[in-house]
Each structure stands twice: as C-alpha cells, then as structure tokens.
Amino acid sequence: MSRNNNGIKNEVGHFEIPADNLDGLRSFYSSLFGWEFEKGQTQGYYMIKNAGISGALAQKENPQQVSTQFVNVESIEDYINKAKQLGARVVKDRQEISEGYYAVLEDPQRNSIGIWQNK
C-alpha cells in the first residue's frame, strides 16, 4: 500500500460494474454472491451493501464501458493534472456527490481508472 505526501492511502476504495440491464445484473450478483443493493444518489446507480469494499452497479453510458476501480486521493484536481501530464485522458471530469468528488481517467494504454476524494 502506498501513501502520498499528505499521508493519504492511495488504495482502491470503490468499484463500479456497468450494466445494460440493471435489474438483470442485480439479480445475477445477488444470486451468485448474495450481494444486497441500495438505490444510489444518481439515476441508474445501485450501491452494493456487502461486497467487502464499496461497490456499485451503474447504468452503462456507452457500449464499450468496462468495470472501473476508484483510487482514494487527497485532491481530485491535482491528480487529474498529474495524470494528464503522464499521458492520461480525462473520460469524466470532476463530479460531485454528497460524500465527495470523483473523476474517471483513461491511462496511456486505454484502461479506465477512477479517482475519489472525500469531502
């Protein structure tokens, strides 16, 4: 586990699984793993209550969307800028919900990675 200069653990704290059919995928994961779901703050978003770490099912925004892991950071803006300098592309710029801020990036080899900052 790594820590940044401010002592924040840069570890995976959340994951999202995109779904074409949310009800069907909720049923699948509920039957397979016993996961329980709770409606999230945004439309088409269901938090997984018992997956071991924070997780969710999200309505797909495009056909190529893949599962995304979110890494905890101390500053969304700093990490967006740093990632861009290292060759990343911003897929979804800084978004806000009640608990914090998130963004989705694409690394230089076209993998999705999310970043998360608590409020």
Q: What is the 3-state secondary structure (H, E, C) of 15-74?
A: EEEEECCHHHHHHHHHHHHCCCEEECCCCCEEEECCCCCEEEEEECCCCCCCCEEEEECC
pLDDT of residue 101: 97
Mean local confidence (pLDDT), 63-89: 94
What tokens appear for 107 in the block? 């690394």
pLDDT on residue 17: 96
Query: What is the number of alpha carbons within 13 Å of residue 21 lying toward its C-beta?
Result: 6
Encode pLDDT of 3-33 as tens digits.
556 666 899 999 999 999 999 999 999 999 9
Superfamily of domain 12-118: 2,3-Dihydroxybiphenyl 1,2-Dioxygenase, domain 1 (3.10.180.10)
